[in-house]
Structure 1
């Protein structure tokens, strides 16, 4: 009986060792999945799919992680922006009226299109169609305003007059609504239907806690958006001259007003209210190197400032839970709100882009990709080892080796 020649054995053994080394190196990447670095040390197995489509509160119980607070909001979500993990949520895809939180989508769409120093003289036509009862910044017709002043009116005063002026610069109310719909689609906001650029109650207009989280994430990635969202006070022009008056951000959790204490580390983003939508809020805060984003839609408790206090409770929970909390879903990687004119159809993408978007919503998709890569690499190394073995076999002279019988 023939025995194996030693050079091929050594080659195959080396291939096996290399493959094992590759798998060992990839181990931490696989373990650092939606359940944290110790996924493989007693945590429940990672879920293959997001649970965000399920009704009710979604949360993965885990040792050392407290349960989310019980709040009265019809829908909410808590996201860690660094990892894009949605740590807990309630009815995240439930379509609800967004009120002025929809101005975040308006800003994502229009903000990149005009320099902050550009001056626009507002006409009477610009301000036509403002709904009675809308919040106003004090924009006047036949008056020049810098674009930066108008954005202060949008973010701080939630002014529909400032939105109308900027929409006019963008080509009109109808075009801006169409542009916002396109932006929502590019960001992957499947629950949002835009019928009014300023978020005023309009039949058929909806968004969701998940989609508002997408808008908050994309907004904070834009330096201008992040600046305006975090601005507490500003001076607004009077009659185009040197005179100004002070305006203050209506986000009570940011500035501390009306009996609401400011939240430590809050960095914006946008609040809203209408009689139909109730109170809505996108709020982000940063503690150390961790940033959390909370969306709260329509608290039902009837308590004063409920939207702010429920957001506070969810932020407090998120900062405590985030180091070990599991993900119930993932936000996709931030996408550009603006289409690159030179990129053509590649921006919206074909099947490859759709697959990438689908994978982004699955908590285990990154780890699965690492596993596939690891075994592919191991197979390549093993194949190289076998090739070496064959080369050695062809290289040695025919006949028994080292005096062994054939």
Structure 2
């Protein structure tokens, strides 16, 4: 469904209202007081893991093969089912793609698409409508990734990032740096590929990390936008029904967004985050077994409702920081993690001073390099 709007991107109200709280700092996941977090091995157990205290609500009946509910601020996992089960992720893998590539590609870069950059887009892929010979801003391409799940936009951005295989390598390294050990990247767009897997745990890690990047948070919470076409622009709408309220799925109050996906092998997948009463939760739902493509949204809704009701009434069963390396990040990793807003010339998010300057060093080099140049039955 496409709807015409003004040329300025329409950002969901929740994105603007929670801009400050989306930038969850690493300090929020630091040493805890109070309840002791169990060792990560608890989340490797099969079945549902939850440690209720008196008065805790019952975990809802969920048909998904794997799911997880976590506090995005502390990293506490409140409950999970087969959290480390390795499954095809579909387009939820684009969260890792964005975490890896966003810091290196400032949104204001202008790029004219070449034919070779669109080669290899999988048959039946979801597309935003990127066309050879057309000039796009990188920010437009990112909207195509987050809203339309456009594999064509992913291919172009991966080309700008050094190529398809380079992007795969960098995504894999990023996953390991975040402690996401279940993920094996083959196709950065999430298109079904042999041995490409992730897990509810890893996808929650990616979603939580994304909320710390204001550009990621802004893109993933955008409900509608204008995309460049041959005759002006045309409207695109986020395919996350919990965000837009389309197809009979009621919008979820306080939803921040993140990413949904579907392929024939993965089924429906979803990483979603919402904020209520000063608390932000992130949930992952992978491949519901009940009929209907909209089940993934209703099961995520039930898990979010449960998580907000259970906060303070359950002991954590693990942590999204539980598998992170204790080693100090490299200088390159620190610069990548410091990427901030203002890069696409439209952001009105807070400036972050020195951090933005560090990110700008790498971004500036990329801009100069770019200026030196002229110029499957799956859906996701």
TM-score normalised over the length of structure 1: 0.71
CA distance in structure 2 between the aligned counterparts of 1:94 and 1:298, rounded to whole angstroms: 12
Matched, 1:232 2:247: no
What SS class does the counterpart of residue 181 from structure 1 fall into?
helix
Aligned mate of 2:280, from 291, 304, 309: 291
Matched, 1:268 2:257: yes
Q: Provide runs of 4+ in structure 1 moved above 3 Å.
A: 46-50, 333-336
Name the residue aligned to 1:7: none
Partner of 2:376: none
The two structures, once aligned, show a CA RMSD in angstroms of: 2.1
Aligned pairs (5 A) from 1:6-405: 32-34=34-36, 47=38, 50-239=41-230, 243-332=232-321, 340-341=331-332
Q: CA deviation at 1:324?
A: 2.1
TM-score, with structure 2 as normaliser: 0.76
For residues 209 and 257 of structure 1, the distance between their equivalents in structure 2, rounded to whole angstroms, comes to 25
User: What is the deviation of 1:51?
Assistant: 1.1
Contact 2:39 2:318 in 1 (8 A): no
CA-to-aligned-CA distance 1:57-93 (integer Å, 9 cap, x gap): 0011320111210110000000011221100000000
Cα distance between partner residues in 1 of 2:102 and 2:133: 22
Aligned to 1:366: none
Number of the residue aligned with 2:348: none
> 1:174-203 CA deviation, whole Å, 9 max, x = no partner?
111111111111111110000001000001
CA deviation vs aligned residue, 1:317-374 (integer Å, no higher than 9, x gap): 00000122110001118899x9533979xxxxxxxxxxxxxxxxxxxxxxxxxxxxxx
CA distance in 2, matches of 1:113, 1:31: 36
1:52 counterpart SS class = helix
SS at match of 1:149: helix
Are the counterparts in 2 of residues 50 and 330 from structure 1 also a CA contact under 8 Å?
Answer: no
Judging changes above 3 Å, is the alpha-carbon distance between structure 1 residues 247 and 47 closer, same or farther for their aligned structure 2 residues?
closer
In 2, are the aligned partners of 1:292 and 1:318 still within 8 Å (CA)?
yes
CA drift of 1:303 comes to 3.3
Question: How far is the alpha carbon of 1:205 from its aligned partner?
Answer: 0.2
Unpaired runs of 5+ in structure 1? 1-28, 35-45, 345-406
The match for 1:355 is none
Report the CA distance between 1:49 and its aligned residue: 5.7
Aligned residue pairs total 302
- Cα distance in structure 2, aligned partners of 1:151 and 1:269: 13
Q: Secondary structure at the match of 2:35?
A: coil
Is the contact made by 1:75 and 1:297 (CA closer than 8 Å) also made in structure 2?
yes
Residues 66 and 139 of structure 1, relative CA distance in 2, 3 Å threshold: same
Larger gyration radius, structure 1 or structure 2: 1
CA contact (8 A) 1:78 1:318 kept: yes
Cα distance in structure 2, aligned partners of 1:83 and 1:90? 20
Give the Cα separation in 2 of the matches to 1:276 and 1:317: 28
CA separation in 2, counterparts of 1:271 and 1:339?
31
| CA drift at 1:33 | 1.8
Give, in whole Å, the separation in 1 of the partners of 2:172 and 2:117.
Answer: 21
Contact 1:96 1:208 in 2 (8 A): yes
